[in-house]
Amino acid sequence: MATIKERFKLKADEQSVEIKDILKKHGNTKIGEVVLSQVYQGMRGITGLVSETSLLDAKEGIRFRGYSIPELQKKLPKAPKGTQPLPEGLFYLMLIGELPTDSDVNDITNAWQRRSHVPNHVFDAIESLPKASHPMTQLVVGIMALQTESTFARKYADGMNKKDYWDATYDDAMNLIARLPRIAAYIYRRKYKDEKHIQPDGLLDWSGNFAHMLGYEDESFKELMRLYMTIHADHEGGNVSAHTVHLVGSALSDPYLSLAAGMNGLAGPLHGLANQEVIKWIFEMRDELGVKLPTKEQIKKYVKKTLSEGKVVPGYGHAVLRKTDPRFSAQMEFGKKHMPNDPLVNTVWRIYETVPEILKELGKVKNPWPNVDAHSGALLVYYGMVEYEFYTVLFAVSRALGVLASLCWDRALSFPLERPKSVTTEAVKEWIEGKGEIWGD
C-alpha cells in the first residue's frame, strides 16, 4: 500500500501531464478580459492563479475538491461519537483529491502526533516578546523561529534537485501542521492562563488535542474545534492569506517563511482578524446599550452609528461571495444544536436579521451578507473563550491546512515564480492617449 506521500506524488505526476496537454492545446486561449478599473481596484475578478485544493462560487460558496461544507459534514470520517468532520480528512481530500477512508485519516492523525515536537528555542522566541503582543504577532514569531527545522531550506542549501522540491515541501507542510496547535496553545496559555501550560494528549485527534492543550475539555468544544478547523481551512487561492503563501513560496522561500508571510496577511482586519473585530464590536454595542440581547431597533441604530463613523460592519461583505457564507450557516447550525438560548449567539442571529438590509440601502456594498467571521466568536465565548484577540490564531491554525496542501501542489506541479506586471498612472495616461502600451512582454 502506497504511503500518503507516494499517493500524492502519483496524483501530481498525472496532473502535470494533464496540464502540459491542456496548455499545449489551449495555452493561447483567452480566459477573460481585464479592464482598467480591475487594475486599480484590487484585481477583483481577474483569473490569474491556479489553486487545486478548493473553488469558490459566488452564489454557492466554497467547495473543497467539489464537496460543499454540508457534504463534507456527511462524508468525512468523524471522531468516535462525534458528528463533525475530522480536519485530517479534509487535508487528505485537498492533498490527494479523493475522500479518505477512516484508516487514511488515522494515518494522518498518527503522522501529526509523531511530527509534533516543538523545539525549545521556539518557546524562547515567543517568551522574548512582551505578553501584551498580539497573539498573531506571537504566532508568526513562533513560526519564524521554527524555520530552523525546514527540510526544504536545508536541502536547498545542500543543492537539492528541482525534481525533489515537492518532497521537501511535503515534509515541511506535515511538520508545520503537526506543530502549530502546540505553538498556538502555548501562546494562549502564556497570555491568558498564567503560563499554566498543558501537555499534549497523544491519544486525541489533531483538533481534540488542540482543544485539550488550550484547556477546554468539553466534548462539544472539541466538536466545535473540528468544525472550526475544517471550515476555515481553504477558500480558493486569491484571498490574501492563500495568495501570499503561494506568492512567497513561488520565490522558493521555504514553507515556514511562506506560511509566516500569509499569516501576516490573515492578521488584517479586512481578512481573518475580522473574527476578533466582530466580537469586540458586539461587546462594545452591549456595553453602550447596557443590555445582553439588543433589540433589532437598537442594533439598527448602532450599525448606522458605526457606518457614520467611517467604519465597516465587521463580519459582513465579501470580495467574491454574493450570499450568506455557508461557513456562517454551518456555525449557525452548530449554535442551534448546542446553545440555542445563548444571548450572545442570539445577538449574532439578530444582527443577521438586521444588517443586510442596511448594507443594501448603502447601494455600494456588493455583498450585504455575513461571512465566516460574523459567527465564530460568539460560539467561542459560550465555552468561556472570551479572549477575542486570540480568535485569529485559531483561524490561522486551520488556514495552514489549505495553504500548505496548496503549496505541496505548487511545487509538485513546478509552478514558476509569480510576477505580474504593474503600471504607473503616468503610463496609464499615456496609454489612454494612445502614446504607448502598458502590458509587459
Give the whole-angstrom CA distance, residue 176 versus residue 208.
Answer: 17
Task: Please identify which of the residues 212, 235, 243, 318 carries the catalytic annotation.
Answer: 318
| Interaction of residue 319 with ligand CMX, rule CB under 6 A | yes
Q: Is 232 part of the annotated catalytic residue set?
A: no
- Nearest residue to 355 (alpha-carbon basis) of 366, 368, 364: 368
| Interaction of residue 386 with ligand CMX, rule CB under 6 A | no
Give the whole-angstrom CA distance, residue 410 versus residue 391.
Answer: 29
Is 118 or 401 the residue whose CB approaches ligand CMX more closely? 401
Contact between 207 and 220 under an 8 Å Cβ cutoff? The reply is no
- Nearest residue to 212 (alpha-carbon basis) of 79, 372, 405: 79
- Nearest residue to 206 (alpha-carbon basis) of 188, 187, 179: 179
Helix (H) or strand (E) run with residue 62 in it: strand 61-64
Contact between 375 and 328 under an 8 Å Cβ cutoff? The reply is yes
Burial class (CB in 10 A: 0-12, 13-18, 19+), 45: middle
Binding segment toward ligand CMX, per CB under 6 A, in 66-74, 344-352, 369-377, 401-409: 369-377
| Interaction of residue 313 with ligand CMX, rule CB under 6 A | yes
Residue nearest to ligand CMX according to CB distances in the complex: 317
**Residue 111 CA to its chain's centroid (Å):** 22
- Rule CB under 6 A: choose which of 172, 205, 373, 410 binds ligand CMX: 373
Is 211 or 374 the residue whose CB approaches ligand CMX more closely? 374
Is 254 or 373 the residue whose CB approaches ligand CMX more closely? 373
Dihedral, CA of residue 234, residue 140, residue 265 and residue 331, to nearest 10? 40
Kindly identify the residues of this chain, within the stretch 65-104, that bind ligand CMX according to CB under 6 A.
Answer: none
Binding segment toward ligand CMX, per CB under 6 A, in 120-128, 187-195, 364-372, 417-425: 364-372
- Minimum CB distance to ligand CMX, residue 299 (Å): 14
- Nearest residue to 44 (alpha-carbon basis) of 306, 301, 238: 238
- Minimum CB distance to ligand CMX, residue 133 (Å): 22
| Interaction of residue 371 with ligand CMX, rule CB under 6 A | yes
- Minimum CB distance to ligand CMX, residue 58 (Å): 11
Task: Please identify which of the residues 172, 271, 325, 375 carries the catalytic annotation.
Answer: 271
Kindly identify the residues of this chain, within the stretch 219-248, that bind ligand CMX according to CB under 6 A.
Answer: 239
Contact between 218 and 244 under an 8 Å Cβ cutoff? The reply is no
Total chain residues near ligand CMX (CB under 6 A): 20
Is 140 or 313 the residue whose CB approaches ligand CMX more closely? 313
Helix (H) or strand (E) run with residue 64 in it: strand 61-64
- Rule CB under 6 A: choose which of 316, 334, 352, 409 binds ligand CMX: 316
Helix (H) or strand (E) run with residue 63 in it: strand 61-64
Q: Is 373 part of the annotated catalytic residue set?
A: yes
- Rule CB under 6 A: choose which of 317, 335, 356, 377 binds ligand CMX: 317
- Rule CB under 6 A: choose which of 312, 423, 428, 438 binds ligand CMX: 312
Contact between 198 and 215 under an 8 Å Cβ cutoff? The reply is yes
Kindly identify the residues of this chain, within the stretch 259-288, that bind ligand CMX according to CB under 6 A.
Answer: 270-272, 274
SS3 state of residue 54? strand
Binding segment toward ligand CMX, per CB under 6 A, in 46-54, 71-79, 169-177, 363-371: 363-371
Cα Rg of the chain, angstroms: 22
Is 81 or 364 the residue whose CB approaches ligand CMX more closely? 364
| Interaction of residue 308 with ligand CMX, rule CB under 6 A | no
Which residues have CB under 8 Å from 183's CB, separation 6+? 118, 122, 126, 139, 142, 143, 146
Give the whole-angstrom CA distance, residue 140 versus residue 283.
Answer: 27
Is 17 or 270 the residue whose CB approaches ligand CMX more closely? 270
The beta-carbon contacts of 355-361 under 8 Å, at least 24 apart in sequence, are 355/299, 355/303, 355/313, 355/316, 356/316, 358/300, 358/303, 358/304, 358/307, 358/313, 359/313, 359/316, 359/317
Binding segment toward ligand CMX, per CB under 6 A, in 128-136, 162-170, 313-321, 327-335: 313-321
- Rule CB under 6 A: choose which of 87, 238, 315, 356 binds ligand CMX: 315
| Interaction of residue 318 with ligand CMX, rule CB under 6 A | yes
Contact between 255 and 407 under an 8 Å Cβ cutoff? The reply is yes
Is 254 or 277 the residue whose CB approaches ligand CMX more closely? 277
- Rule CB under 6 A: choose which of 174, 245, 259, 365 binds ligand CMX: 365
Binding segment toward ligand CMX, per CB under 6 A, in 57-65, 194-202, 310-318, 329-337: 310-318
Q: Is 325 part of the annotated catalytic residue set?
A: no
Query: Which residues in this chain contact ligand CMX in the complex, by CB under 6 A?
Result: 239, 270-272, 274, 312-319, 364-367, 371-373
Catalytically active residues are: 271, 318, 373
